[in-house]
Amino acid sequence: MKTKNHDAIVLSSSDEKKVFGQFADCFKSSPLPDDEILPNIGLFLTSKNLSRILFFYEIYKKILDTHGIIVEFGVRWGQTLSLMSSLRGIFEPFNRHRKIVGFDTFEGFKGMAQEDGELCNCKEGSFSVTSNYEDYLDKILFLQEQLNPIPHLKKYELVKGDARKTVPEYLKKHPETIISLAIFDFDIYSPTKSALEAIQPHLYKGSVLVFDELCDDVFPGETIALMETIGLKNLRIKRYPMTSRISYLEIE
Ligand SMILES: C[S@@+](CC[C@H](N)C(=O)[O-])C[C@H]1O[C@@H](n2cnc3c(N)ncnc32)[C@H](O)[C@@H]1O
């Protein structure tokens, strides 16, 4: 099933979708006063949504004693980037080196290839966002920083454009980059492969890589990209029990 406006895939059953719709209505028509909505946001967290947060909580703890930045490949509405910013605020509010950098076209998929198969039924532009969404997300990430120590030092960056071009460009501009955590969520083969190739010199023993679609028949391209770059043989691909789709590995 796809979402109406942005061609994003939803794997929920129609019954589940109905309940999610009712949940969304409850959220939109919430009787909570404005100044109590955010502190009570847990009211609207379903087990499915909470599981993703718990996964990233575990992953963040893994990188605490490692040096370097966090990158996300495929940002979309930016929930993971925002979550990373909150986790940085909780665990290491003074770590100004823990920059968080997100790459996205902010115009949906770009560079679909044969390796992406037919099952996802996606096209160029699937998983798009609203126009100029990056400005809204920039504001959210700015506000996140204002609520934590050293807010005068900007510690995030959004890089708009086709990642096959922007990732190498970014790394050329920032040759000092060391990657502590890379989150792969482009879903598709070509930008995933380009990003995997580009970041190799910036990884080290202990870098953590997270993948959203490994071993996923709907999006086979991500697995193929990993096989063709780092290769599977020498990797320990692990997961946490609370999420079925996200996996991670540490460079050894
Ligand atoms: C599944 S969404 C990412 C979801 C996000 N990580 C989250 O936590 O909600 C996939 C994203 O990859 C982006 N994308 C796909 N191909 C791209 C490319 N060639 N360059 C940059 N971004 C791309 C899409 O625009 C889309 O926003």
* Residue pLDDT, tens place only, 151-177: 999 999 999 999 999 999 999 999 999
Task: Give domain status of residue 85, yes or no.
Answer: yes
pLDDT of residue 146: 96
pLDDT of residue 5: 75
| Domain extent for 57 | 46-250
DSSP conformation class of 203: -
37 and 150 belong to one structural domain: no
Closest-CA residue, ligand 1 atom 5, reads: 75
Task: Give domain status of residue 6, yes or no.
Answer: no
pLDDT of residue 1: 66
73 and 187 belong to one structural domain: yes
Residue type, 250: E
pLDDT of residue 9: 73
CATH number at residue 244: 3.40.50.150
* Alpha helices in 9-132, H assignment, sequence order: 14-28, 34-37, 47-63, 79-91
CA of 56 to the centre of ligand 1 (A): 18
Task: Give domain status of residue 27, yes or no.
Answer: yes
CA of 85 to the centre of ligand 1 (A): 19
List all residues whose CB is within 6 A of at least one atom of ligand 1.
74-77, 79-80, 103-105, 108-111, 127, 162-164, 185-188, 191
Residues of the chain with pLDDT under 50: none
Closest-CA residue, ligand 1 atom 16, reads: 109
Burial of 93-111, coded b for 16+ CB within 10 Å and e otherwise, reads eeeeebbbbbbbbbbbbbb
Hey, which bits of 96-229 come out as E strands?
100-104, 156-160, 179-184, 208-211
CA of 41 to the centre of ligand 1 (A): 25
22 and 126 belong to one structural domain: no
The pair of structure tokens assigned to 117 is: 């198969």
168 and 134 belong to one structural domain: yes
Q: Determine the atom of ligand 1 nearest the C-alpha atom of 128.
A: 25
Domain count, the chain: 2
pLDDT of residue 251: 97
50 and 40 belong to one structural domain: no
Task: Give domain status of residue 196, yes or no.
Answer: yes
18 and 107 belong to one structural domain: no
- Looking at beta carbons, which pairs linking 63-68 to residues 24 or more positions away fall under 8 Å? 63/180, 63/181, 63/208, 64/91, 64/92, 66/180, 66/181, 66/206, 66/207, 66/208, 67/97, 67/178, 67/180, 68/97, 68/98, 68/177, 68/178, 68/179, 68/180, 68/181, 68/204, 68/207
pLDDT of residue 117: 96
Task: Give domain status of residue 7, yes or no.
Answer: no
Instruction: Indicate the pTM of the whole model.
Output: 0.95
CA of 147 to the centre of ligand 1 (A): 27
224 and 211 belong to one structural domain: yes
